A = this chain, B = another copy of it.
């Protein structure tokens, strides 16, 4: 392996606002050798997530140590084991990793997990990856929807939102989504079975949302903040739960934007719960949650749409465009095909 070259993107400045490309630099170096207990992997696919920008920002979220200037840009990956100095792994194994934006990675075996369950390889970085875990935990454990309740999800055509809505439908809820184009809204209703969808770019969102939620909102899964969160707060029923998952529309600013009005008054008066969660804290139950997701996929209740960008060199642009809402379903970058028989 020593003769092979590794391409890796290193952070050259913190990624707090604006385009991603100027914040990273592609370096070419020889592939590193694995030490005792280490595993050398080839990166097959890279997950492109809003959180990537947060990790690389000057003010990373408190659960994360942050990516420092000079570090490899951090991202969740799906890898194939090439050389293993760890008893739990053998060449050809497909593993979940945090290899980041590069072709090859060396990691201690403890940092890797073998994928569980079959199906398409890419599903292990979309529906059986962090998007699926995030949707499942955020919706079912934080939001706790009951059959017959109205669930609203924003960025509903995105990787997490599209799963949230479908899981809520499978649990017997009425589901409304918001998305940034009429095409996405049609897809939500016609293909995914949502009960309604609102294009937030077509006009003020609150009157539309009110029409679509005649019985008010019981669970709002928030991926965007801003106007959608404001509308959801105002249309919430007593005891509604608001799952604060991400803040795509608010990341790209050096100052936090204006929050929704009426906080804490609306929370106190309507007895609301607004709650964030850290998906990494739930990894111990990953196999159990994956089994629940596999069941939904295999029974046809969960349609998975992937938005695959080809080539490591396109990772920076793929991340930047995520914040403009370019993606349709789970966005990932395909870096290499596995050498084994898995496809």
Q: A236's closest neighbor in chain B, by CB? A: B62
Tell me whether A262 and B259 are in contact in the complex, defined as CB-CB below 8 angstroms, given that A63-B271, A271-B278 are known contacts. yes
A109 at the interface (CB under 8 A from B): no
A70 at the interface (CB under 8 A from B): no
Bound-complex Cα distance A250 to B263 (A): 10
Instruction: Determine, out of A158-166, A191-199, A240-248, A331-339, the stretch whose residues face the partner at the interface.
Output: A240-248
Q: A224's closest neighbor in chain B, by CB? A: B264
A88 at the interface (CB under 8 A from B): no
The answer to whether A270 and B229 touch across the interface, beta carbons within 8 angstroms, is no
Which B residues are CB-close (under 8 A) to A264?
Answer: 222, 225, 229, 242, 244, 247, 250, 259, 274, 276
Interface size of A as a range: 35 or more
Q: A63's closest neighbor in chain B, by CB? A: B238
The answer to whether B265 and A247 touch across the interface, beta carbons within 8 angstroms, is yes
Chain A 234-262 interface 0/1 with B at a Cβ cutoff of 8 Å (1 = within): 00011000101111001100001111111
Which B residues are CB-close (under 8 A) to A277?
Answer: 271
A31 at the interface (CB under 8 A from B): no
Bound-complex Cα distance A257 to B258 (A): 12
The answer to whether A54 and B269 touch across the interface, beta carbons within 8 angstroms, is yes
| Shortest CB distance A232–B (Å) | 10
A318 at the interface (CB under 8 A from B): no
Which B residues are CB-close (under 8 A) to A281?
Answer: 271
Chain A 34-65 interface 0/1 with B at a Cβ cutoff of 8 Å (1 = within): 00000000000000000000100000011100
Which B residues are CB-close (under 8 A) to A269?
Answer: 54, 61-63, 276
The answer to whether A270 and B222 touch across the interface, beta carbons within 8 angstroms, is no
The answer to whether A263 and B225 touch across the interface, beta carbons within 8 angstroms, is yes
A273 at the interface (CB under 8 A from B): yes
A321 at the interface (CB under 8 A from B): no
The answer to whether B256 and A262 touch across the interface, beta carbons within 8 angstroms, is yes
The answer to whether A256 and B267 touch across the interface, beta carbons within 8 angstroms, is no
Which B residues are CB-close (under 8 A) to A274?
Answer: 263-264, 267, 272-275
Bound-complex Cα distance A229 to B245 (A): 21
| Shortest CB distance A289–B (Å) | 18
The answer to whether B268 and A263 touch across the interface, beta carbons within 8 angstroms, is no
Which B residues are CB-close (under 8 A) to A250?
Answer: 264-265
Interface residues of A in 273-294 (CB under 8 A from B): 273-278, 281
Chain A 144-160 interface 0/1 with B at a Cβ cutoff of 8 Å (1 = within): 00000000000000000
Within 8 Å by CB of A272, from B54, B238, B270, B276, lies B276
Question: What would 18 A/B residue contacts be, using CB atoms closer than 8 Å?
Answer: A62-B269, A225-B264, A238-B278, A242-B264, A246-B268, A247-B268, A251-B265, A256-B265, A258-B261, A259-B263, A263-B263, A269-B276, A271-B275, A271-B276, A273-B274, A273-B275, A273-B276, A274-B274
Which A residues contact B (CB, under 8 angstroms)? 54, 61-63, 222, 225, 229, 237-238, 242, 244-247, 250-251, 256-278, 281
